[in-house]
Amino acid sequence: MKSMTGYGDASGESPRYRISVKARCVNHRFLDVVVRLPEERRGSESALRGLAADRLHRGRLELSVELQGLEQRRVRVELQDEALDELQRALDSLRDRGLSLEPPRLGDLLRIPELLQLQWSEAGWEEEDAALLQETAEAALDALVAEREREGRSIGEVLRRRLGELVGWVDSLEERRSLVTRAQLATLRARVLGLAEDLEIDDDRLAQEVAILVDRGDVTEEIDRLRSHVEGFEAGLDAEGPVGKRLDFLAQEILRELNTVGSKCRDGEMTSQVVEAKLICEQLREQVQNIE
């Protein structure tokens, strides 16, 4: 069992680059991978997405890559000769009209857009660098997965405790159901006899009608289904691979059966037991939202 949240980072160095990778993941219904790369290395995005898909099944993952060049890059200054010539002609024209002008300084020229441009040589990108990026991303993702596993174990322990409490309330509901059914039979029979004291009623017909009334409030089937869902939930806690969606579905089914039991029963103690069981079920659902 793994959580969907976690963080991992790693770094590596080649003769040309220092590479840092950070992996952050939060809850999400599906796997959503966002890769943040320098634009010139956008071609590596597909490979990084593949690494993430091999390790994760659900969650919103942000994979951020930082590259720091270690080689000294060469720079070349490009002058826009035509623009400089036009500027010189304009200055000469102003001087011919009697204006006294100082020769433009370098700072003045640098403020003119695109008059001077610095062209940096591109940093090399070799197979060794691509391999280093992949290794660093793998290390960051492995650290993320390890943290998700640690948190998943903690969540699993909480779920097992809550499930044990829920089983206890289901046992209590079943015990109380037997007592309530017998009491309802006796109460309904007495009430019917009291209301029809002066009427002749066939005992078999009376028993049939009372049984029908009691059956309408019987929750045996709901409790049986409740136990089945609880057992399925317990099995899911021991299953391999992503189980979050399965456990979330079972938690919803458990809550649905509890709601049905609560609406059918007419016993105050059973109603209180249902309320307590529903509170635990909600806690299960909250924790399940964090599971991959």
Please indicate, yes or no, whether the overall pTM of this predicted structure exceeds 0.75. Answer: no
| Interval 58-93: pLDDT, tens | 999 999 999 988 766 666 777 777 877 887 888 888
Least confident of 18-22, 125-129, 166-170, 186-190: 186-190
| Token pair belonging to 278 | 């529903």
Do residues 255 and 247 make contact, with C-beta atoms less than 8 angstroms apart?
Answer: no
Q: In what side-by-side order are the strands of the sheet with 6-13?
A: 6-13, 17-26, 59-69, 31-36
Residue 217 reports pLDDT greater than 80: no
DSSP bridge pairs for 230: none
Residue 251 reports pLDDT greater than 90: yes
End-to-end CA separation in angstroms for the chain: 7
| CA gap 112, 107 in Å, rounded | 9
DSSP bridge pairs for 79: 116
